Amino acid sequence: MHLVFVNPRAQAAHRRLPLSVLFLARGVPAGHTWSLHDANVSADALADAEAEIARDPAGTVLLVTVMPGPQLREAAPWCRALKARWPAVTVVWGGYFASVYPAAVARDRGVDLVVVGQGERTLAELVDALARGADPAAVPGVAAWRDGGLARGASRPMEVSSRFGPAPYDRLDLDRYAARTFLGARTFNHHSSVGCPYVCNFCAVTSVSGGRWLADPAADVVEAVDTLQRLGGADAIEFHDNNFFAAEGRVRQVAEGLVGRGLRWWGEGRIDTMLRWSDRTWQTMADSGLAMVFYGAESGDQEALDAMDKGGLQVTDTLALNRRARSYGVVPEFSFVLGNPEDPEGDIDRSLRLIERLKADNPRCEIILYMYTPVPLPGMLDHDAASDFAFPDDLDGWLAPRWNRYEDRRDPGTPWLTPQLVRRVRDFEAVLHARWPSASDRNLRRWQRGVLAALATPRVVTRRYRAPVVLRGLQRLWHYRRPEEMGF
């Protein structure tokens, strides 16, 4: 049996290693062949995959990883066309979108099977079932649409990722993935854990992992970085874990292993967790080249934070973490989700005031502004409030322009957000990023940054954020990229 892995085109400023399918390939059983096609590095990726399928459709399993947004919009029509042309090919979807919405995916005419959650062991058993002619929907971690409903195997428990061995980097041209970023000239990405130990009730990761978090041992993480340095010449690493900084001892051991390697690195952490860490750990992280940490600050409204079940996170914690990170030369990158249904205007007002204080304390801190979009899953925050606008139950619905806009989280069209509130946030954002352009943007020259800052400073001082037409025009003219557009 031949397995064809496909990573559809995603929207990012630079290419990332296709870890979702590269790691999955570690589960291919002996005796079966496989190939990987990444539409992010090759314009011919989908055509090349089609050529392989055409040689033996019945003996081919197509495995597609799908995130919401651009990947979904590319994968759905392509897989439908493939199934219409070669009905015998087995099409399997996995990844974030398929794991969160398995019924919507499984019922589509372009998909045969869905892998929910971590896939390495599921893939091995799925391939074995297909080879034996057994029912693949009985495999733990697999779902399929049968008789008008979703048929699922038992839930698949998560496992430590490094247990499946190193990623097969030899199957990739690493030079095509060496990205020039603000971190370094040859930046690569790695993922060193599965799940997340926190249960924020607005996050879809909670629905998949249920608060479980399994991390690769520190030695395995350092070994993976060593491999990327040895094979790819890496001088920077992005750790794409849902939460890399969940355990202080592990992070300190990783940082100790990275000291002296000439690396700069980035990862995602939690404010109240890292605020409690020792000075020794912070200094070791700084010595190892830690440049920036992404934090979900979420809101400047304490009631909103409490409703999100952020584990007791206080607005004052965000201010304290901002100052502590500054003292070690680490840039905090704060993400906000503004405009919850209970009090959208109050949430926005208090959050913008908090951001002003964060910038006053630490001008180098980075700010990312999203509009709040509820997760359409029962039991999650604001699910009932969000039901007024009915989430899609099939891929045609998710492919509609309305939901493309929703997934973008810039102006999601939720009924409680007025155009005036959205415009207020976007005006504030334009002025903020003119006064302090993101360090991650590589398009702006120093003089352009100076011009934007000079024009924006009077607005910041007087809080005149409304209608920054000139600033927005210059940002567009000079192709300024906000930090979230860099794909972190």
Confidence of residue 415 (pLDDT cuts 50, 70, 90): confident
pLDDT digits (tens, 9 = 90+) for 208-249: 777 788 999 999 999 999 999 999 999 999 999 989 999 999
Q: How far apart are CA 356 and CA 459, in angstroms?
A: 12
The pLDDT assigned to 388 comes to 57
Task: Give the mean pLDDT of 297-326.
Answer: 92
CA dihedral for 396, 397, 401, 406, sign (positive or negative): negative
Q: In whole angstroms, what is the distance from residue 324 CA to residue 329 CA? A: 9
Instruction: Evaluate if residue 403 carries a pLDDT over 90.
Output: no
Whole-angstrom distance, CA of residue 83 vs CA of residue 53: 11
CA–CA separation, 4 and 35 (whole Å):
5
Measure CA 263 to chain center. Answer: 22
- What pLDDT is stored for residue 488 in this prediction? 41
Backbone dihedral angles phi then psi of residue 65, each to the nearest 5 degrees: -95, 135
Contact of 242 with 205, CB cutoff 8 Å: yes
Topology (CATH level 3) of domain 2-144: Rossmann fold (3.40.50)
Token code pair at residue 159: 């496992």
- pLDDT tens profile 87-140: 999 999 999 999 989 999 999 999 999 999 999 999 999 999 999 999 999 999
Higher pLDDT, 77 or 213: 77
pLDDT at 260 over 90: yes
What is the average per-residue pLDDT within 281-308? 94
Q: What pTM, to 2 d.p., does this model score?
A: 0.92
Q: The tokens of 285 are what?
A: 């992280």
Over residues 151-165, mean pLDDT: 93
Q: What is the spatial distance between Cα 92 and Cα 3, in angstroms, rounded to a whole number?
A: 10
Sign, CA torsion 279/280/283/284: negative
Count how many residues are written for the chain: 488
CA distance 429 to 431: 5
Please give the CATH architecture assigned to the domain spanning 178-417: Alpha-Beta Barrel (3.20)
| Predicted confidence band of residue 15 (pLDDT cuts 50, 70, 90) | confident
Annotated domain spans of the chain: 2-144, 178-417
pLDDT the model gives residue 102: 95
